[in-house]
Amino acid sequence: MDIARDKAVSGGSAPPAAAQPGADSVTSRESFARPRPGSSSTAASAGASPSGTVRPRGSPQARPSIAQFVSEIRAAFNARFYLFELEAKRAVWSAAYMLAFAVGAALLGVTAWLIFIGALIYGAVTAGVPWLIAAIAAIALHAVAVFLMVRAIRAMVDNLTFAATRRTLSKEDS
């Protein structure tokens, strides 16, 4: 059975009906025959649309009712809300994984830093520096770094006050 030929004969809507028992074999073979070029098919002459549904000629198309319009709007809204829900779930899971990976990376970074400082202290002790002096040097280096970071943090505190926005709002109020 050739599907493409069946669709061409039936207009693409449904397969042709099977031959009835006792029907003439010539008519059943003709129903499967390809339409000849130049000849009009029966579906086109009956006023069938390309989708295969038959509509009487000259009849106006039915206008959708308000209830149909509302139900289609509701269906479109539900589909978009469902898409939003799925994307929100994916975003929440992604944020949770990002936070977990950031905590893991921070822990690995701190561990690597401690190993690095330990290796520096060990190298200094192996080179003949007393371990107490090496440890004090590492602590002093960290204290200087902490001082510089705290100073930078204090310099950025003014950025959290929304000063320009407050100035703009206070000008409009007065």
Q: What is the pLDDT of residues 78-113, one digit of tens each?
A: 999 999 999 999 999 999 999 999 999 999 999 999
d(CA 74, CA 36): 47
Evaluated on CA atoms 119, 120, 121, 122, the torsion sign reads positive
pLDDT per position as a tens digit, 1-60: 444 444 444 454 444 444 444 444 444 444 444 455 555 544 444 444 555 556 556 556
Give the Å distances, CA to CA, from 3 to 32, 43, 57. Answer: 11, 18, 29
pLDDT digit string, tens, across residues 121-143: 999 999 999 999 999 999 999 99
One-letter identity of residue 76: A
Domain borders along the chain are 3-45, 66-173
Give the pTM. Answer: 0.47
